[in-house]
A and B are shown apart, each in its own frame.
Chain A
């Protein structure tokens, strides 16, 4: 997730914010996400308003985009990087909270200022491609695959860490790729031992409140990941699962890292 001070946007009336956020400032808060319409042929983006600042939201691939109907837990550090969704950028994570919040229902219209930013555009067909299809209609059925996710490198005696949104056990697509590679490595390693340590998290909000995950969250994450590794071919009996369900100390700084599972593969010496 990324969010930035909105200095250049102050000229855009509707997008103006009164208080610029300071770079490197830690922010931990809960707010309703707002869906920003960006025009007829482009996707929506999301932002949140918090203490007079508009923060634009972007997440790691397949982490889980914000959802109207639900509040959002935002945890991160303000950066001076490029804007996201016409708002301040934060490095960190945003988590959709599971319970319904019907009051979170705002879709911001695509104003001329937003349209000028050309957010969420996808490449359209080129004239060259159009001519190619006209000349050979069957080429319109040629397969054009998405760019493949990179195959992650995993190794023995190294700990891989998978982070999760608040009170979720759904890993992202890139994390699933890590699991695939770990399972392949495990299958190829005679006598492999797999240690899985699953944690539940807690986060200290800016208002002083501590938000703690449900008691069985570590167990849910751990058991799901063990099931996945086994289903992908990790040898039977090779996995040792440790559930760490003690509530961690939360500091308001990178608390999202407390919601994790650590996987460590080792070979017998």
Chain B
């Protein structure tokens, strides 16, 4: 029998306990080096209910575990940016609370990437504005890009800094003209959970267990095992394995003194592979994974589900059926309860997500990979097609418009002008001169056609980890829906928008 521990709140059950838990969310912070026990299950309150974390591995005492211990000079641990309460990502609500609780002294706000630029005065809010408002960490990427063996890749484009609100791209020590030339972009941390869905090669869609869908080049190989691996793990796909990511993050984000030992890598990887997260309880819909509820909800579904599978055939839905919530009462059975009304809204939102088709147009590295421009799909049959996880199985890098003009313009982020060589294959819908806030995948490949492209991400535990998208563009689920509505001229009704928001809040 499993034991559920509700962290940061009374263990008493019921709505009142949940309300207290929601008010007490700030106390759910797990600091580096703290001792916590991770048994079979943990629950964490959030504004929409409770996130549940399942551990399929051995019980863990976080004290002494390399994922939870500070390993470098800035005092951070992996857990600093991958909080269990935040679906193993990090919400801006948590970031703000931690700033207030520590007056900005927490290692989370380390100068290296928890501030807009290390050269800025530390400890003042303005120097950490991107983290405090959008949950963005600075990611310095070498310029020109470097291959896995450390050699320079000759990029197909030149970059010019047009606007540098953080000052870091023109900074003499950290910028693109420094001794170690780097481009600073700003990105959200991705959830480190439900890993089998991100690491399993696609099944049943040969030959894409070997080939990238877009340009039919080969997928990368695990440098240690020599086997082909997926590239779903990171937004730019630069490191395809957990061990590689852990090492890179250790040096980059934790400022580690020394490389992780083999035993530390083994422990980190085992932990990351063992945990599953999803919303487990909705304040309005109730328990999400009990008999009679939709089969795709709750972390148990993630634990038990098949990874690497394509969904949204008429029968085989990406997140399973929600039909049992659609019309809970027959005619003449009286007014539905608020819970039934909310559940019906979730079910309608699921149907919009699964079935409502719209024209998907001018998405770089996506419409141009053979599918046609435009093509007509729903959310689920287009980009969010992996069973239970909701990212693109392909795997799919794409420029949705979040990183490049004209679809997104940000005053708070750096703006680069990318000018591609005449002999380069141009970005399919923006050509050879592109204004971008984050060149994305192109900072790995050096290719003009990749400018602005990033990897789709999983859709579980959303209620615990706003803001959304790689650059934190959407502060909440409604803004996410509004972005898609605007970008693809879908013309969702107000009811459809609310239904979609409610649907995503229970994932």
Q: Which A residues lie at the B interface, using CB under 8 A? A: 35, 37, 40-44, 46, 62-70, 96, 98-100, 107, 120, 122-126, 129, 132-134, 137-146, 148-149, 169-173, 175-177, 179-180, 214, 216, 224, 227-228, 231-232
Contact = CB atoms under 8 A, between A and B. Distances in A.
A149 B314 contact: no
7 contacts: A69-B428, A125-B314, A137-B294, A138-B295, A143-B309, A176-B210, A228-B217
A148 B206 contact: yes
Nearest to A62: B370
A65 B370 contact: yes
Contact of A98 (B296, B377, B425): B425
B313 interface: yes
Nearest to B205: A146
> Which among B295, B367, B423 has the highest number of chain A CB atoms within 10 Å?
B295
B310 A145 contact: yes
A149 B375 contact: no
Nearest to A42: B376
Contact of A141 (B295, B314, B428): B295
Nearest to A44: B376
Contacts of B315: 125, 129, 132-133, 139-140, 142, 144
Contacts of A146: 204-205, 310
A141 B426 contact: no
Given A139-B315, A177-B206, A177-B207, A224 B368 contact: no
B384 to A, nearest CB: 15
Given A173-B216, A231-B218, 8 more contacts: A37-B376, A44-B375, A70-B373, A98-B426, A100-B431, A141-B317, A176-B211, A177-B206
A137 B347 CA distance: 13
Given A129-B314, A173-B207, A176-B216, A140 B373 contact: no
Interface string B341-372: 00000000000000001010110000111111
> Which among B217, B314, B372, B431 has the highest number of chain A CB atoms within 10 Å?
B372
Interface string B287-309: 00000001110000100011001
A37 B206 CA distance: 29
> Which among B367, B369, B376 has the highest number of chain A CB atoms within 10 Å?
B376
Interface in B300-343: 301, 305-306, 309-310, 313-317, 320-321, 323-324
B316 A143 contact: yes
A177 B368 CA distance: 21
A98 B377 CA distance: 24
Interface residues of B, number: 55
A44 B205 contact: no
A217 B316 CA distance: 42
B316 A140 contact: yes
Contacts of B428: 67, 69-70
B347 to A, nearest CB: 12
Given A141-B316, A143-B316, A180 B210 contact: yes
Contacts of A120: 376
B374 A145 contact: no
B203 interface: yes
Contacts of A133: 315, 321, 323
A28 to B, nearest CB: 22
Contact of A144 (B207, B295, B316, B369): B316
> Which among A120, A170, A179 has the highest number of chain B CB atoms within 10 Å?
A170
Contact of A171 (B216, B368, B425): B216
B217 A224 contact: yes
Nearest to A129: B315
> Which among B370, B371, B377 has the highest number of chain A CB atoms within 10 Å?
B370
Contact of B370 (A35, A63, A107, A228): A63
A68 B221 CA distance: 35
